[in-house]
Structure 1
Amino acid sequence: MRANDSSNTQSLHYIVRSGIAGGIAGCVAKTVVAPLDRVKILFQASSPDFQKYAGSWSGAIRAIGQIYTENGARGLLQGHSATLLRIFPYAAIKYMAYDQVELILMPTRESQTNLRRFSAGAISGMISVVFTYPLELIRVRMAFSTRSSVPPQGVPYRPSFVLAMSEIYREGSSIPKASPSVIPETTASLFSRFPILKFYRGFTVTMIGMIPYAGTSFLAWGFLRSHFIPPPPPSSDSRARSKSNPVTNLIIGAASGAVAQTVSYPFEIIRRRMQVGGLTRPDRWLHWGETVRAIWNSRGWRGFYVGLGIGYLKIVPMTGVSFAVWQWSKGILGV
């Protein structure tokens, strides 16, 4: 099958296989770093049970130890079921969209530029967020819940996907609509008429943050591959891809993740605070400016990089595994 044959590369069969390859890559990568992912969410969202551990690598290890002592292995994977439910369609859509956008913006190897690589990554990332953001919000709520985040009921609290979804749906139902100090009436009426919007807390900052994250990630991926992987023979098809091994893909993917994480991390901090706003401030609807001011007033500029160390510890292997498994899966599926 010729790679530059649009009837093949844009066919439903090709697109489905491309999506499956991306979904597999995302699930494998997320499972590898699931315990670190939960600890990072607890740090970013300033969980009162775990703030004493924030700010150091050893603190992350101690936090993992506390979670394991209190809840066992299930505690380390709390919220992971929602993660997998979200990450498969998210990664599938992202990588599938990237394959298609890359085909449009960079149909030949000679047409590849850093701006086009960045644009292709940013566009694919934003498309995936639009369709999967509610699942991300539910996953964050499940991971954020600890013993002190819910009233004691005399029984162990294990948040489920359905329970988290139900709590989000009910949030704000008791807030007076006419109280401008809590939430503008127009916003209250919107949430009353369209409850689905409650599942998009922090959506705008996520979309804005996705541009530098996905864009930089795919930019670094394409740039490093073009410099460290030999091009295909001149006699081959102009769209033919260079041969690379899993170790090379793993290293290049890890480096891409590190660069993308550094660029976009402040947006991630703001997003996490907004996502858990219904739990930490049930009487208010937190917005962009208010969230940024709260972080700045609390810890200054360092507040926007809380948990960055554990972010590297998580993102570097996760992105490396994701890109490597993506390429491997595409080879297996003949994409």
Structure 2
Amino acid sequence: MSSDASNIRTADQVIRSGIAGGVAGCVAKTVVAPLDRVKILFQASNPEYQKYAGTWSGAFRAGMRIYRDTGVLGLFQGHSVTLLRIFPYAAVKFMAYDQVHDLLMPTRAHETNIRRFSAGAISGAISVLFTYPLELLRVRMAFDTIHGSASGKPMRPSCLRTARLIYAEGSAQPSAVPITRELFHTFPLLKFYRGFTVSLVGIVPYAGTAFLTWGYLRAAFVPVGPNGRPRATPLADLGIGAFSGALAQTVSYPFEVVRRRMQVGGLTQPGRWLRWGETVRAIWTRGGARGFFVGLSIGYLKIVPMNAMSFAVWQGMKRLLDL
């Protein structure tokens, strides 16, 4: 009887942990959605916006151009897919982190930096595996611009239209690499995993560093109450989350740039699956070492408040849900 009750409580805690993480992710992403749109345009070298890249003022001017051309909705283009993706992504990530954390570090005495890093990296990898196709849809919609339709009216990219375009890529290009064409023909859903390998590799340093820094700073600066739980305030959560995000962004940013280029490769070379090597060489040829950090300044502008809000709302939701 008690064993069953314990299992029910554990399942209930897992569900509440997922809800807390999902809500935190949605709030954080909504706060920085306009910056995210501009950053994707810069990273993927959209020809219409590349002239603005490289400066803070350029990011502002790019945002103003989007607003002038398409209004407020243009700044949030692709955000509906972002929310569809971020809730399960953040829910799985934070839920997995809680479980892996308890497994690797059942008590504070077991907490080490390598275990903190491992818990974050594992949870990040699990979340990417399950939600990557939605991430690809979001990037494609953010990268795309308004097109004219047969009726002459501007046609805004939609989730369904973008998914259809991705699914159809490579179906009629005779010059495509044979192996890639065969893969696309046999496993068409692979088209929704363009850039997945570099994303999976990139999430390890990002999530690992973020949760390592988060755990280390909380252990070092947040006092523990009589019940053994950290007595963090929302302000402390915001500050630690912001610093964790900035450090994680710096470590993993080159992977993110390569991933974005591979994700939008279907638009520039629809019949091919861009590989790591050629993508890295293309970035190096065009911009050298700085090419791997294009948009990093706006990345900080986005990631610092996003991570601050994400960690703070996550902790606030956990307190609200009695976790």
| TM-score range normalised by the length of the shorter chain | over 0.9
Kindly state the Cα deviation for residue 175 of structure 1 after the two structures are TM-superposed. Answer: 2.0
Shift of 1:10: 7.3
- Paired residue secondary structure (2:154): coil
2:197 corresponds in structure 1 to 204
Residue correspondence of structure 1 range 185-200 to structure 2 within 5 A: 185-200=178-193
1:163: which partner in 2? 161
2:153 alignment partner AA: V
Cα distance in 1 for partners of 2:7, 2:305 equals: 33
Aligned to 1:302: 290
Which residue does the alignment assign to 1:46? Answer: 45
Summarize the Cα distance change of 1:281–1:187 in structure 2 as closer, same or farther, 3 Å threshold: closer
Partner of 1:277: 265
Deviation at 1:7, TM superposition (A): 3.5
CA distance in 2, matches of 1:32, 1:9: 35
Distance 1:193 1:77 in 2: 35
Q: Deviations over 1:224-271 (max 9, x none)?
A: 1111101233xx4xxx32111101100000000000000000000000
Q: What is the root-mean-square deviation of aligned Cα atoms in Å?
A: 1.5
Q: Which residue of 2 aligns with 1:330?
A: 318
Q: 1:226 aligns with which of 212, 219, 224?
A: 219
TM norm structure 2:
0.95
* Structure 1 equivalent of residue 36 of structure 2: 37
- Identify the residue that residue 171 of structure 2 maps to in structure 1: 173
308-317 or 278-287: bigger deviation: 278-287
Deviation at 1:327, TM superposition (A): 0.2
Range that drifts further, 222-231 or 85-94: 222-231
Cα separation, 1, equivalents of 2:6 and 2:134: 33
Q: Deviations over 1:16-35 (max 9, x none)?
A: 10000000000000000000
* Alpha-carbon distance change, 303 to 10 in structure 1, aligned in 2, over 3 angstroms: farther
Partner of 1:125: 124
CA distance in 2, matches of 1:45, 1:151: 22
User: In structure 1, how many angstroms separate the alpha carbons of the residues matched to 2:148 and 2:182?
Assistant: 29
Quote how far apart the aligned CAs of 1:93 are: 0.1
8 Å contact 2:145–2:157 — kept in the other structure?
no
Ranges in structure 1 where 5+ consecutive residues have no aligned partner: 1-5
Give the drift of 1:130.
0.4
Amino acid at match of 1:73: V
Tell me if the contact between 1:8 and 1:14 (Cα under 8 Å) persists in the aligned partners. Answer: no
Say if 2:181 and 2:272, in contact at 8 Å, map to a contact too: no
Which residue number in structure 1 is paired with residue 92 of structure 2?
Answer: 93
Q: Which residue of 2 aligns with 1:12?
A: 11
Q: Give TM-score, length-normalised by structure 1.
A: 0.92
- Letter paired with 2:220: H
Query: Which of 231, 240, 244 lines up with 1:243 in the alignment?
Result: 231
Q: Counterpart of 1:43 in 2: which secondary structure?
A: helix
1:10–1:104: structure 2 CA closer, same or farther, 3 Å change rule? farther
Displacement of 1:221 after TM fit? 0.3
Structure 1 residue 308 displacement after superposition = 0.1
Q: Find the residue that maps to 1:11 and give its secondary structure.
A: helix
Counterpart CA distance in 1 for 2:133 and 2:21 is 20
Q: Extract unaligned runs of 5+ from structure 2.
A: none
Shift of residue 131, structure 1, vs aligned partner: 0.3
Counterparts of 2:271 and 2:78, CA distance in 1: 25
Query: When the two structures are aligned, how many residues end up with a matched partner?
Result: 318
| Offset from partner CA, 1:82-106 (integer Å, 9 cap, x none) | 0000000000000000000000000
Instruction: Give the letter for the 2:240 counterpart.
Output: I
- Residues 18-75 of structure 1: CA deviation (Å, up to 9, x unaligned): 0000000000000000000000000000001101100000000000100000110000
Supply the AA of the counterpart residue of 1:191.
F
CA–CA distance in structure 1, aligned partners of residues 29 and 92 of structure 2: 16
**2-side partners of 1:311 and 1:66: how far apart?**
19
Deviation at 1:172, TM superposition (A): 0.3
8 Å contact kept, 1:49–1:146: no
